[in-house]
Amino acid sequence: KGFLETAEASTAAVQQGEDWRQERFFVKDRVSCYLEYRIGPEPAPLKGSFVKENRFHGEGTRAGCAGLLRSWVLPISGVVDRSLCAEFQALSELCDRLDAAQKEPQATLAQEVLKGSGTVCLWTSSASCLSCVRAMRQFRQIF
């Protein structure tokens, strides 16, 4: 499978679950984000993939947590917590993983991560908001 097929299949599997928002008056579309990364030298690069969804996930969520990225309050709605956007959550988790890898005793991997050699592919089921586009830019500036 290619990246696009894997991303669509992975996010479809997440979206098949029940959604409590369907019972509410105001229904917001579910947005999923698939992130795949491969960073560092062969033969053992840091690699992986995961899916995030735009919502509060209860305990362990990024809501209100300060990480390397900062969400941006949009003028259209100041009450929306943009740190709960799927793309923001995915990029923040990757930042956490890369930050943890830099602290490992494997000096070569940490140096490669700091240099930014590798690829990160991100697919989202909907258009990204400006706060998420800003988070993508922040990620590029950090790594």
Provide the 10 A C-beta neighbour count for residue 61: 14
Is the four-CA dihedral 56, 101, 99, 131 of positive or negative sign? negative
Confidence band, pLDDT 50/70/90 cuts, at residue 66: low
Confidence band, pLDDT 50/70/90 cuts, at residue 58: low
pLDDT single digits (tens) 79-133: 677 888 899 999 999 988 888 777 766 656 556 555 657 899 999 999 998 889 9
Model-level pTM?
0.76
The continuous run of DSSP H or E covering 35 comes out as strand 32-39
Average pLDDT over residues 19-31: 60
